[in-house]
Amino acid sequence: MILDSYGKPLAASKNETKKDKRTNFKFSSKVKSLVDSLIELPVQSSWLDQSEIDKINRDSTVIAAKARRKSATLKKEILIICDDKTIRENLEETFNYDVINSILDIPFQGFGVFELIWKKKDGVYYPEFIERYYRNFLLEDRVLKYAPYGTPQDIPIYKAVHGVYEAKPDKPYGQPLYNPLFWLIEFKNASMEFWVELLERFGTPWVIAKTEGNKDELADEIYNMLGGDGATIDTDDDIELKTAEKSGNFKELIEYIDDQIRELLTGGNLTGNVKGGSHAAANVHNEIREDLARADENIVNKIIRQVVKLFKEGNYLNDDIQAKLKDKDDPNKELVDRDKVIADMGYRPKKEYIEKTYNIEVEDAAPPQEQNMFQNHKMSFSKSLPQDELDYQTQNIDTSNPLTFQKQILEIVENSKSYDEVQEKLLSLSKNINTNDLYDNLVKYMTNSSIQGVAEIEDENPNG
């Protein structure tokens, strides 16, 4: 603004007035509402509305990541350890795929409740799972109450079980994964909305005509001629379209949000659309995913244990019944490796332990037969030679005399208390041994060894 000598503003020239009128800045109301909607969203201090949860579950990235996380637990099978075969089979039907799948929704909701309907079968009452709307229930001193209208009501015993995901003193109903997903989906949907409007406005070409005549008439003619978007301006005006730079576009924001969704639900992003990675990073992500799967499995096992406890109490059963999830065809690899090491040390597990641990029926093991070092023993050199007379004779060696010496020596060792005593007894025994038979056997063995040596040399050097 320019002032005169009296401090009053000078009148603007005609050109300046025209410039002020023709210069204006306007922001898209859509962009402004986008920012306001993200900043002014209410803080979710309680349950999310069902409509908001439905919006989250409709997102394709959430659907894929959710299924991937659940699959790590759903691929396992229920292991029922029980002596009664009928009870074991019926309980396996109780904890079916649909029941496990419903229990795995607890990490997303934070809290889950299941009603138990008891039905009699083969003289025993078995539970049937029915998932209930978790918002109709409350926890009072960790006791489940039914409160559809706000007033808590007691629930009969054996009627319901519940599970909580990462409960804290200030968050007794857990920490649902839907809460952080809510913000990510809001940002993603807002970005998508911006892109759709951008494509609607600038996805098709515009015809811009300049004229000194009637602009409205020309605009109508352009529209009738092309049937598309058009505009008319003064010949002195100039229009230039400015697009957003790549570093600030909304497409990258959407990709970033998808990565965050995968990382939240599966512990990493190597299971999604990535442009690179490493074997070490993949291993780390698989370990993280296994940790999440174990956490989900613990929730399932906890509810299974609750139901089994109610099952035993309601039917007045004293049988030892255990139930948990396990990998198919692999009850516990670490336990198998440990038991194998113990067996290699010479310790034999009992039949009861094997049946209880691995849930398989085994027969009583036959007592080990005493074998000697010569019985059914093929020499190492016979592996590289075809079956011939030498092999036949080797398998038919008379071992009666060597076994006699072996038996006598073993009796001395077992009945002696020290090394010196063994040495004294062996020396005294050697005086009474008939060495003629021993001498004849040694001659035969040395002869056979010489023949074997010649055979090996000839086999290694067939051309001499």
* Residue-wise pLDDT tens digits, 223-276: 776 666 666 666 666 666 555 555 456 678 888 889 999 988 888 655 444 555
Is there a contact between 359 and 331 (Cβ–Cβ < 8 Å)? yes
3-state helix/strand/coil string of 7-43 = CCECCCCHHHHHHHHHCCCCCCHHHHHHHHHHHCCCC
Whole-angstrom distance, CA of residue 100 vs CA of residue 78? 9
pLDDT bracket for residue 389 (50, 70, 90): low
pLDDT digits (tens, 9 = 90+) for 147-170: 988 789 999 989 999 999 988 888
Which residue from 156, 46, 192, 158 is spatially nearest to 111, judged by alpha carbons?
46
CB 39 within 8 A of CB 236: no
Q: Cα dist. 371→160, 286, 368, 397, 407 in Å?
A: 61, 49, 9, 16, 12
Q: Of 272-281, 292-301, 420-429, which gets the smallest average pLDDT?
A: 272-281
Structure-token match 């969203």, residue found:
41
- Nearest CA to 293 out of 85, 75, 45, 9 is that of 75
Q: What pLDDT is attached to residue 336?
A: 76
Q: Which of 64-68, 196-200, 210-214 has the highest mean pLDDT?
A: 64-68
One-letter amino acid at 44 equals Q
CA 121 to chain centre: 35
- Asked if the model's pLDDT at residue 109 lies above 60, the reply is yes
Give the pLDDT of residue 416. Answer: 81
Can you state the angle between helices 50-57 and 60-74, rounded to 10 degrees? 80
Task: Report the distance separating Cα 282 and Cα 284, nearest Å.
Answer: 5
pLDDT value of position 359 = 63
Contacts of 11 (CB under 8 A, 6+ apart): none
Tell me what pLDDT residue 60 has. Answer: 92
Eight-class DSSP state of 109: H
Mean pLDDT for the chain overall: 75
In this predicted structure, what is the pLDDT of residue 366? 63
Bridging pattern class, strands 111-121 and 124-132: antiparallel
6-10 mean pLDDT? 48
Q: Among the ranges 19-28, 269-278, 428-437, which has the highest mean pLDDT value?
A: 428-437
What pLDDT score was predicted for residue 214?
A: 78
Longest CA–CA span in the chain (Å) reads: 148
User: Rounded to whole angstroms, how far apart are CA atoms 452 and 382?
Assistant: 10
- Pairing outcome for strands 230-233 and 207-210: parallel
* 266 neighbors 292 (Cβ within 8 angstroms): yes
Count CB neighbours of 248 within 10 A.
8
Q: What's the pTM?
A: 0.57
Consecutive H or E run containing 119: strand 111-121
Question: At residue 299, does pLDDT exceed 50?
Answer: yes
Helix (H/G/I), strand (E/B), else coil: 450: helix
In this prediction, residue 418 has a pLDDT band, given cuts at 50, 70 and 90, of confident
Neighbour-count burial of 453, counting CB atoms closer than 10 A to its CB (0-12 exposed, 13-18 middle, 19+ buried): exposed
